[in-house]
Every structure is written in C-alpha cells, then in structure tokens.
C-alpha cells in the first residue's frame, strides 16, 4: 500500500516544483530590476585594480539601463565597440526610461538611457550634489502607420491627427481626411486606433507633438500613458501596435519608424509647420533635428520643428551620466563608450532606420565628454 | 544494546528539564532550522508590506481616500484611481474560477473514482504538463493565436444577444474586442486548472476506503457514493485547492497583461477590454515619470496584497464554517 502510494506523491511533488518554477519564471519576466550584471556601479573598478598600470586603456564593465527606444542602437553599437575594445564590456538593459533614471539615482548603473530630460516632478530624486550630464545619442521619427489596402502616401495634418486619436473622426471617408487627400478614394471603413498599453517614451513624444502642433484641438494632454478613447485597441510595445495595425483593416497607430518599416507598414506623410507634407525617413528626422537650438545642458525638443524637409514627429534620446564619477576608471570607461556612440557609432543609425545627430549637436556633445571627471 | 535500553528510561525518569538539555545536536539543529524558516516567511512579508507602503506614501497623501477609490486613471492629468484595476483583477479571476472549478473537480473525481489507476497516471502527467508552461508563453499564444481567433466569435455573439436584457449587458455592446476580460479569464482558467486538479485529487484520494465501501454496501450508486461519502469528506480540501488557484489567478501578471486589452474601464461588458492590478504595474512601471505615478504603481502592489489577504481570509472562514457544519451533522 505504502509503496504504491509513493509514486503519486512524487508526481504531485514534481507538479508543485514545476508550479513554483513557472511562478518564478513569471515573476522574473515581469520584474523591472535589471536581471544580471548590474550589481553596482563600482563593478567597473574591480578588474581595473589589476591592470591599473595601463592607465590609458580603461577596462571593465559599464552597466546601463533605460529607454527601449535605444535598444537597437545600443545592441548594435555594443557589438561593434567590443571589436575594437575587447577589454570593455557594456550591458544595456532596456527597462524603460523611467526605470533607467531611477536606477541612475540609486547608483546601480553608470548611465541611463532616457527619451526625455529629467521631469520637474522627479528632480527631487536626483541625489544632492550630483550633476547630471545629457548626451544626446540618437534621433528617430515616429511613424503614423495605417492599414488601408491600396492606398499609399496618405496625408494628414496635426488637427486631423488629433481628432482621429481622440475618436472624433471615426471613418476613413470623413470629409476632414478627404479634404487633405484630393484624388484619393478613401473607403468608408471604420477607423481602428492602435495605441500603446504600456507607458512609453513614444507615447510621451507623440502626445507632446500633438500638444504643440494641434494646440487646443488636442485635449488628452501629454504623458507616457494617455487615457485613450475606450474604443482604442491597446497593445503592448511598439511591436504589439505594429501587429495590431497589420492585422486590422482600417487601423491607424503610432510606432517607431524602425518598427513600422520592419513590419512593412505604410506610414502617412504629416504636414510640418512649414506647410509641407513629409514622409518619415532617417534624413527627414535629421533635417528636423538640425533646426534645433539645444540649451546649454544639451536638452532640446525635436517634435514640431520648422524647415521644409523636416518630419515633424521626430524625437530623440539621451544617455544620462553623473559628471562626477566615483573613480578614474569609470570616468574613462564612460568617455570611451560615449565617445564611440557620438563618433563612429552615429554611422550605424541610418541602417537601423533611426537617424544620426546633426553635426552641430554632435560636436557639442563630444565637447561635453571632458566634463566627466572622477 | 541492553545497556542503552536500560539507561534511557532510568535517566528520563529524573525530570523533564535535563531531558531537553540532553537532546542530540541533530534535533536542536532541526528545531533552529524550522524556527528560522518560519520566522523568515513572516519577516519577508512584513518587510515587503513596509517598503511598499513607504514608497507609495506620496500616492496615499496626494490622491487621498477619494482619489484611490475612484476609477479614473489618467497619469497625464495626475489622476491615479485604483478601482478600475481592482475590478479587472476580480472579474477576470471570477471568470477563471467559474470555468476552471467544475472542470478541475470533475477531472479530480474522474481520476480518483472512475478511471482505473493504470489509465489515470498518463492523464495526470498531461494535466501537470499544463502547469509547466510559463505564463509568458500563455500570454504570447493568447495574443497571437487566441485573440484573433476569438474576435469574430465575440462579434457574432454580441450581435446575437443584441437587445436581450441581461445577456446584452454581459456579452453585447459596440466595443467588443478580442483582447478582453473574458479572454484573460479563459487563459487564467487554463493556467489554474492543473493546480486545482492535482490538489483536489490528493484530497479526494484521502477519503477512507471503508467509507466508500460502506456507501456501496448500503446500495448507493457511484454518484450517490461520491455525493454522500467522498464530497463531505473532501469539501474543505477542495475549497482550499480552489483558493490556491484563485491566488494564482489574481497575481498572474504577464499573461493577463498581454490579453486583457489594457484599458482601465469599469464595465459589465465581459467582451470589452479591461485592465488588472498586476498587469498595469508590469506595463507602466518602465516609463513611469515623476514621483506620484511611480508611487501609485507601487501602491497598487500594496492594494493587490491587501486584496489577496481579504480573499484568503474570507475563503478560510467559509471552509471553517462548512467544516463545523459537517461535524455537527
């Protein structure tokens, strides 16, 4: 009797272990703390103790976290950087701008990627006595992707865009849209909105754009999470939105240009403040950024810039670094890697359907590298 | 051998005090280990409660009682009401239980009472395999396969019940989407079925054989035997198993985040997109800007914690009452 019962008990035990494992897997996949390799900012100095004789070439590990918008660029740049600097390891954890900044304040990363400057609400969280340096690293367009079979080069202006995303225009043959697209026969298909369900720098910058360009016509405000009309299809991540647009006829959504291109989606041309309709592209994004006059701390706003060839919904991302590093090696590591991102690294951006910084901003950022000290 | 057996009773006859001192190292070590393990659970729980409460104080002080108990979640306008998420968590878990409990208890009875043990084993393995599938896989399957498949079904159900009083409120409406409360409930049901099944099966297997044989001897059919002998004996344990499943459903994060639709609305329409407490924390934490947004998300963790405790206490009370009634009968 006892012998016959035992295997069954084991089975249940196995099931419980499996349950625990799957629960653990669940919790780690949704955890927001960097999973590995980001123990402390001091980790860069540990291996340096042995090789301090070769002072010029820093070696060690840079742990960084932040913006998901930078993921592709950082991963590509880390691979390329590793080839010329085999003694430096860079880990970039795409946990989101907000979490990245919070990690920087808690000193668990050496730099944080962020799609916006530190918001005023958050200023009190920056440790006192620390100066944060902003290094702009990349520019990129937000595409207004749509799914209307057979219709290419749809034209939209900020006011109509605001009305569409507020659920006020509900079908494609609405007179406001047809007026902008003479000669195009738009179907009577209902408009399905595809938006982000997660908080996102893309949402933040898209709503910033609508606030600036559409003015009082845009009533939903600006934030990393917007209270969309309840009819909107909310999807997780840029890929989720692209998937939703792709699978629904009559859908429209805002996604990174790189994601839209990878999913083969059509993107609308948007009327910029110079009155021109411009389609999203790498060069149109750089054109928009070249109109920008950055502040002395190198923060700036790229959305809704003038210039005939500027794509108006263009945004940017920074790497945030403390000016004063705890030791010389960390400072050298950061100078080497950020110097690479601002130098050779910029040439990697166009192939990723992102855009390089205009030369003027790039040279200012390079000059700022000398402010990283120990 | 003989010396030992004689020595032991002689010494223990002294007093209880010296006996405790003489306990071997292994026993004392085990006592310490058990004590530490027990205390550790309590300490971790208290620490979690304290730190989350601490980090969410901004939310509690700025939003106030009214703000927290509102359904308005609009970070752009600094409105952080928690109730739409609590509603979504409760509704999706209830749907999951309504689907999973009959199936799980039925499966457990099938495996213990109907199918011969030789056949039961492979069935058990297959069910347990369901529990091994990681939740993110359920979520991805849900969003890529299940949701597009359900969308037209929901739409046709919604047009079918159009105008029918109660059904129209539950399954009708013009904003029916594939990613909805009900979809999350179904996915959760599949996820908690193996847990409830295997725990119920263990409980039902403990019913003494003599009770079953007694029922048969009195001329009971199999159904009467299950109702009269098996069910009263295992009722409390099965409710306990359902509770474990409910806890899993309420805390489930990533699978729900992917299929519930991500829209913080309180509505009776089960085919409308909704949101849940765990899902909103996972989805919005990454880009949460500013003190109060972040504090509100951490505070929602605390809300979920309290919600789980309330549900567990309530269910425990139900189990105890039914156990008392059974003893009285």
The predicted-structure confidence for B8-43, as pLDDT tens digits, reads as follows 444 444 445 555 566 788 888 999 999 999 999 999
> How many interchain CB pairs under 8 A, A with B?
159
Domain chopping of chain B, boundaries: 85-273
Residue A70 · residue A113 · CB < 8 Å? yes
User: Which of A23, A194, A199 should one mutate to test binding to chain B, selecting the residue with the greatest count of B CBs within 10 A?
Assistant: A199
CB contact (8 A) between residue A29 and residue B257 = no
How far is Cα B263 from Cα B286, in angstroms, rounded to an integer?
Answer: 18
User: Are A2-138+317-371 and A141-289 the same fold in CATH?
Assistant: yes
How far is Cα B109 from Cα B19, in angstroms, rounded to an integer?
Answer: 48
Helix residue ranges per DSSP H, chain A: 2-29, 45-48, 71-84, 97-105, 158-165, 175-180, 201-214, 237-247, 257-262, 282-289, 328-342, 359-368
3-state class (DSSP) for residue A278 = strand
Q: Which residue of A has its CA nearest to B128?
A: A15
**Ordered per-residue pLDDT tens for chain B, 329 residues:** 444 444 444 444 444 555 556 678 888 899 999 999 999 999 999 999 999 999 899 898 888 888 888 888 888 788 899 999 999 999 999 999 999 999 999 999 999 888 888 888 898 889 888 888 999 999 999 988 999 899 899 999 998 888 888 888 888 888 888 889 999 999 999 999 999 999 999 899 888 989 999 999 999 999 999 998 998 888 888 988 898 899 899 999 999 999 998 888 898 899 999 999 999 999 888 878 777 888 899 999 999 999 988 888 887 787 787 777 666 54
Domain chopping of chain A, boundaries: 2-138+317-371, 141-289
Mode of pairing for the β-strands spanning A266-267 and A132-146: antiparallel
ipTM of the complex: 0.72
Count of beta carbons in the 10 Å neighbourhood of residue B185: 24
Tell me, which fold does domain A141-289 have in CATH? D-Maltodextrin-Binding Protein; domain 2 (3.40.190)
3-state class (DSSP) for residue B311 = helix
| A34: alpha, beta or left? (left if phi > 0; alpha if psi -120 to 50) | beta
How far is Cα A192 from Cα B68, in angstroms, rounded to an integer?
Answer: 31
Chain B closest-CA separation from residue A33 CA (Å): 10
Report chain B residues whose CB lies below 8 A from the CB of A27: 253
Cβ neighbours of residue B110 closer than 8 Å, sequence gap 6 or more? B123
What angle do the packed helices B25-55 and B291-328 form, to 10 degrees?
130
How far is Cα A209 from Cα A201, in angstroms, rounded to an integer?
Answer: 12
Residue pointed to by tokens 């890529």? B144
Domain A2-138+317-371 falls under CATH 3.40.190.10: yes
Tell me, which fold does domain B85-273 have in CATH? MetI-like fold (1.10.3720)
Report chain A residues whose CB lies below 8 A from the CB of B287: 96-99, 198-201, 203-204, 224-225
How far is Cα A197 from Cα A244, in angstroms, rounded to an integer?
Answer: 12
The predicted-structure confidence for A255-288, as pLDDT tens digits, reads as follows 999 999 989 999 999 999 889 999 999 999 999 9
Mode of pairing for the β-strands spanning A132-146 and A251-256: antiparallel
pLDDT number for residue A8: 46
User: Which of B247, B251, B286 should one mutate to test binding to chain A, selecting the residue with the greatest count of A CBs within 10 A?
Assistant: B286
Residue A132 · residue A325 · CB < 8 Å? no
Chain B closest-CA separation from residue A162 CA (Å): 16
């Amino acid at each position: 009797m006892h012998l016959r019962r035992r295997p069954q008990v084991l089975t249940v035990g196995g099931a419980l272990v499996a349950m625990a494992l799957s629960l653990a897997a669940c919790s780690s996949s949704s955890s927001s703390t960097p999973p590995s390799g980001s123990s402390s900012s001091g980790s860069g100095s540990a291996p340096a103790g042995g090789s301090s004789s070769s002072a010029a070439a820093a070696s060690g590990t840079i742990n960084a976290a932040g913006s998901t918008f930078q993921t592709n660029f950082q991963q590509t740049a880390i691979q390329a950087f590793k080839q010329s600097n085999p003694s430096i390891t860079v880990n970039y954890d795409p946990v989101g701008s907000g979490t990245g900044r919070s990690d920087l304040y808690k000193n668990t990363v050496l730099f944080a990627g962020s799609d916006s400057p530190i918001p005023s609400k958050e200023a009190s969280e920056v440790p006192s006595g620390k100066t944060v340096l902003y290094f702009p690293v990349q520019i990129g367009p937000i595409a207004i992707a749509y799914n209307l079979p057979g219709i290419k080069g749809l034209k939209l202006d900020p006011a109509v865009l605001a009305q569409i995303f507020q659920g006020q225009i509900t079908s494609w043959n609405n007179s406001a849209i047809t007026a902008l697209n003479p000669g195009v026969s738009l179907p009577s298909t209902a408009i399905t909105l595809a938006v982000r369900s997660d908080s996102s720098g893309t949402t933040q910058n898209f709503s910033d754009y609508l606030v600036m360009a559409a003015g009082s016509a845009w009533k939903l405000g600006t934030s990393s999470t917007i209270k969309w009309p309840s009819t909107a299809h909310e999807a997780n991540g840029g890929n989720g939105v692209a998937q939703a647009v792709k699978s629904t006829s009559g859908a429209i959504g805002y996604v990174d240009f790189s994601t839209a291109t990878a999913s083969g989606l059509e993107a609308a041309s948007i009327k910029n403040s110079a009155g021109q309709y411009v389609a999203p592209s790498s060069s149109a994004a750089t054109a928009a950024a070249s109109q920008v006059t950055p502040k002395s701390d190198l923060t700036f706003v790229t959305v809704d810039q003038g210039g005939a060839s500027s794509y108006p919904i263009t945004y940017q991302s920074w790497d945030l670094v403390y000016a004063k590093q705890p030791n010389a090696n960390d400072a050298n590591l950061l100078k080497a890697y950020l110097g690479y991102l601002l130098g050779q690294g910029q040439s990697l951006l166009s192939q990723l359907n992102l855009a390089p910084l205009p030369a003027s901003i790039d040279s200012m950022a390079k000059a700022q590298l000398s402010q990283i000290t120990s | 051998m003989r010396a030992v057996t004689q020595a032991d009773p002689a010494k223990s006859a002294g007093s209880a005090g010296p006996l405790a001192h003489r306990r071997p190292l292994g026993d004392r070590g085990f006592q310490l280990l058990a004590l530490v393990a027990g205390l550790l659970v309590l300490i971790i729980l208290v620490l979690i409660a304290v730190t989350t409460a601490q980090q969410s104080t901004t939310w509690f002080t700025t939003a106030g009682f009214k703000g927290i108990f509102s359904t308005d979640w609009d970070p752009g306008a600094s409105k952080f009401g928690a109730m739409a998420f609590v509603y979504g968590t409760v509704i999706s878990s209830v749907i999951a239980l309504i689907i999973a409990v009959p199936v799980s208890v039925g499966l457990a009875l099938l495996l213990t009472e109907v199918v011969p043990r030789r056949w039961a084993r492979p069935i058990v393995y297959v069910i347990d395999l369901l529990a091994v599938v990681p939740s993110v896989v359920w979520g991805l399957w849900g969003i890529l396969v299940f949701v597009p498949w359900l969308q037209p079904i929901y739409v046709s159900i919604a047009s079918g019940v159009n105008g029918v009083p109660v059904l129209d409120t539950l399954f009708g409406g013009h904003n029916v989407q594939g990613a909805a409360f009900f979809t999350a409930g179904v996915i959760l049901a599949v996820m908690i079925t193996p847990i409830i099944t295997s725990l119920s099966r263990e409980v039902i297997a403990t019913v003494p054989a003599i009770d079953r044989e007694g029922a048969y001897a009195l001329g009971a059919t199999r159904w009467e035997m299950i109702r009269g002998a098996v069910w009263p004996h295992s009722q409390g344990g099965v409710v306990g198993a359902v509770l474990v499943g409910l806890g899993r459903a309420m805390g489930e994060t990533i699978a729900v985040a992917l299929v519930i639709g991500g829209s913080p609305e309180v509505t009776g329409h089960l085919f409308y997109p909704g949101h849940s407490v765990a899902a909103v924390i996972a989805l919005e934490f990454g880009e949460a800007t500013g003190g109060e947004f972040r504090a509100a998300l951490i505070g929602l963790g605390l809300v979920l914690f309290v919600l789980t405790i309330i549900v567990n206490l309530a269910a425990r009370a139900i189990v105890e009452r039914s156990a008392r009634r059974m003893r009285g009968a």
